[in-house]
């Protein structure tokens, strides 16, 4: 166990080269789990590359990558499967780790008839109830008080479940960050606030979001600890999340984790960072790539080999290709499904509008490609 540093110090377990730092202790993780964690990070990297390419080819309407931030997704390893994840739009690895399939993921991007959310939202706005992965909203920060409420709800129900909520540093400027943190502090709610401080909110740098020395120190004002960690160090992510989860389950309340990382790609496929960002900046961050760092650690542990990675990559690529082909060949959801799930039962006005639409000549959405 690392001696908890003061909140503004950066907690690390691994150095950039994947060595365990002096004074740090790597969390004990079975070999199969280490491999699984690595494989999930690799999956995020590979699927991001391929889906962004599809978007560039005009085959997907929109996409968002997580390149360079994959280690933060693996915080869920430190939680129980029944704990709840309130994601933003840049943590798909947390869903993959819990068993979200590549097939469902890609079908969501296409918004096709097999999309688990029935074509209701833009790409990357997943919702996976069976793995307690809550529906994603585009306006940032909205999920923060919701996570606090769920955590309080679990406590009221007498359960040990907790909630982790992901957000970027941009979201810490919202009123809902304040509201969610403040309610959680007062309630001692079992919630983990996980801030991916990746430096950029579209074109706005962190320095324009807050005059505060860090995000982590903001926790002090709400009466609970804030810890700043190296977000590209998967072992620091897991170790800190495990400690925060133990605190929460012991009834000691929330923790704010500020994971320092970097958005190496664009905000989204609609964004062009060359307009506002020095291209050398993401290059510099490639040196502390979270996957490469973890790879070196695993290699030293005798867990990773080039042959194993080659096999894993090939298997992932093959699955992506197969599922993408299938997703691309799957048609749009039936037009009448537009009216489902607004309410549990369809009220008269929606029923009438649906019947009216079904009497019209069928129009095809220009956004739907296949």
Partner 1 sequence: MPVMNIIQAVNDALKLEMRRDKRVVVLGEDVGKFGGVFRATSGLYEEFGPDRVMDTPLAEAGIVGTAIGMALYGLRPVPEIQFADFIYPAFDQIVNELAKFRYRSGGQYPAPVVIRTPCGGGIRGGHYHSQSPEAYFAHTPGLKVVMPSNPIDAKGLLLASIRQNDPVLFMEPKRVYRAARGDVPEGDFEIPLGQAKVVREGQKITLVAWSAMVHTAQEAADKAAADGVDVEVIDLRTIVPFDVETLVASVKKTGRCVIAQEAPKTCGFGAELVATICERAMEWLEAPIERVCGFDTPFPYTLEHEYMPNADRIVGALKRVLEW
Task: Tell me which of 56, 276, 322, 367 is the catalytic residue.
Answer: 276
When computed from its CA atoms, the radius of gyration of the chain, rounded to whole angstroms, is 21
Least spacing, CB of residue 331 vs partner 1, in Å: 16
**Interface segment toward partner 1; rule CB under 8 A; list 6-14, 209-217, 291-299, 337-345:** 337-345
How far is Cα 27 from Cα 101, in angstroms, rounded to an integer?
A: 28
Least spacing, CB of residue 194 vs partner 1, in Å: 16
Task: Give yes or no: 263 in active site.
Answer: yes
**Interface segment toward partner 1; rule CB under 8 A; list 9-17, 138-146, 263-271, 297-305:** 138-146
Among 6, 275, 343, 363, binds partner 1 (CB under 8 A): 343
Q: How many residues belong to the site for partner 1 (CB under 8 A)?
A: 48
Q: Which of residues 144-163 bind partner 1 (CB under 8 A)?
A: 144-157, 161, 163
Is residue 302 close enough to count as binding partner 1 by CB under 8 A?
no
Give 6's contacts (C-beta < 8 A, 6+ positions apart).
none
Among 9, 342, 358, 370, binds partner 1 (CB under 8 A): 342
Task: Tell me which of 132, 267, 293, 295 is the catalytic residue.
Answer: 267
**Interface segment toward partner 1; rule CB under 8 A; list 34-42, 141-149, 270-278, 321-329:** 141-149
How far is Cα 155 from Cα 277, in angstroms, rounded to an integer?
A: 44
Q: Which of residues 180-209 bind partner 1 (CB under 8 A)?
A: 180, 182-183, 186
Instruction: Pick the closer one to partner 1 by CB: 186 or 358.
Output: 186
Longest dimension (CA), the chain: 72
Given strand 226-230, what is the order of strands in its sheet? 10-11, 226-230, 255-260, 191-197, 163-168, 84-86
Task: Tell me which of 90, 247, 263, 293 is the catalytic residue.
Answer: 263
Token pair recorded at residue 320? 């992506």
Least spacing, CB of residue 49 vs partner 1, in Å: 27
Q: Which of residues 86-125 bind partner 1 (CB under 8 A)?
A: 86, 115-118, 120-121, 125
Q: What are phi and psi of 282, to 5 degrees?
A: -60, -30
> Which residue in 205, 252, 215, 261 sits closest to 74, CA to CA?
261
**Interface segment toward partner 1; rule CB under 8 A; list 5-13, 39-47, 176-184, 257-265:** 176-184
CA dihedral 2, 290, 245, 173 (to 10 degrees): 110
- Binding-residue pattern over the window 261 to 290 for partner 1, x denoting contact by CB under 8 A: ------------------------------
Q: What are phi and psi of 85, to 5 degrees?
A: -110, 120
> Which residue in 160, 157, 152 sits closest to 186, CA to CA?
152
Give 22's contacts (C-beta < 8 A, 6+ positions apart).
none
Instruction: Pick the closer one to partner 1 by CB: 6 or 349.
Output: 349
How far is Cα 242 from Cα 360, in angstroms, rounded to an integer?
A: 56
Is residue 362 close enough to count as binding partner 1 by CB under 8 A?
no
Instruction: Pick the closer one to partner 1 by CB: 5 or 175.
Output: 175
Least spacing, CB of residue 138 vs partner 1, in Å: 9
Among 8, 9, 341, 355, binds partner 1 (CB under 8 A): 341
> Which residue in 170, 181, 245 sits closest to 217, CA to CA?
181
Strand 255-260, strand 191-197: pairing: parallel
> Which residue in 119, 116, 245 sits closest to 190, CA to CA?
245
Least spacing, CB of residue 136 vs partner 1, in Å: 8
Other CB atoms within 10 A of residue 186 CB: 13
Note the residues at the interface with partner 1 (CB under 8 A): 84, 86, 115-118, 120-121, 125, 127-129, 134-135, 137, 139, 142, 144-157, 161, 163, 175-176, 179-180, 182-183, 186, 340-344, 347-349
Active site residues: 263, 267, 276
């Amino acid at each position: 166990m690392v001696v908890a540093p003061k909140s503004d110090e950066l907690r690390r377990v691994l150095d950039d080269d994947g060595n365990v730092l002096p004074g740090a202790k790597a969390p004990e993780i079975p070999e199969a789990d280490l491999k699984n964690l690595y494989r999930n990070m690799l999956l995020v990297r590979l699927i991001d590359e391929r889906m962004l390419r599809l978007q560039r080819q005009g085959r997907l309407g929109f996409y968002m990558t997580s390149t360079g931030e994959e280690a933060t997704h693996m915080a869920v390893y430190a939680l129980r499967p029944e704990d709840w994840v309130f994601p933003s739009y840049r943590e798909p690895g947390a869903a993959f780790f819990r068993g979200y399939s590549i097939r469902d993921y890609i079908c969501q991007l296409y918004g096709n008839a097999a999309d688990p959310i029935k074509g209701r939202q833009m790409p990357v706005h997943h919702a996976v109830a069976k793995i307690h992965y809550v529906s994603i909203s585009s306006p940032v920060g909205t999920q923060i008080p919701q996570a606090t409420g769920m955590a309080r709800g679990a406590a009221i129900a007498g359960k040990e479940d907790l909630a982790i909520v992901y957000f970027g540093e941009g979201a810490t400027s919202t009123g809902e960050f304040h509201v969610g943190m403040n309610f959680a502090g007062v309630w001692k709610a079992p919630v983990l606030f996980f801030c991916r401080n990746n430096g950029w909110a579209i074109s706005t740098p962190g320095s324009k979001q807050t005059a505060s020395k860090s995000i982590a120190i903001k926790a002090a004002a709400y009466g609970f600890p804030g810890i700043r960690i190296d977000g590209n160090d998967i072992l620091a992510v897991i170790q800190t999340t495990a400690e925060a989860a133990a605190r929460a389950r012991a009834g000691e309340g929330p923790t704010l984790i500020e994971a320092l990382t970097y958005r190496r790609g664009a905000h989204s496929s609609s964004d062009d960072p060359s307009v506002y960002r020095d291209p050398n900046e993401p290059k510099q961050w490639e040196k502390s790539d979270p996957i490469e760092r973890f790879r070196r650690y695993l290699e030293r542990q005798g867990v990773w080999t080039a042959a194993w990675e080659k096999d894993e990559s090939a298997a992932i690529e093959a699955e992506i290709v197969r599922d993408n082909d299938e997703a691309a060949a799957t048609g749009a959801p039936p037009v009448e499904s537009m009216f489902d799930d607004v309410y549990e039962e369809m009220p008269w006005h929606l029923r009438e509008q649906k019947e009216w639409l079904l009497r019209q000549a069928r129009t095809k959405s220009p956004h739907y490609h296949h």
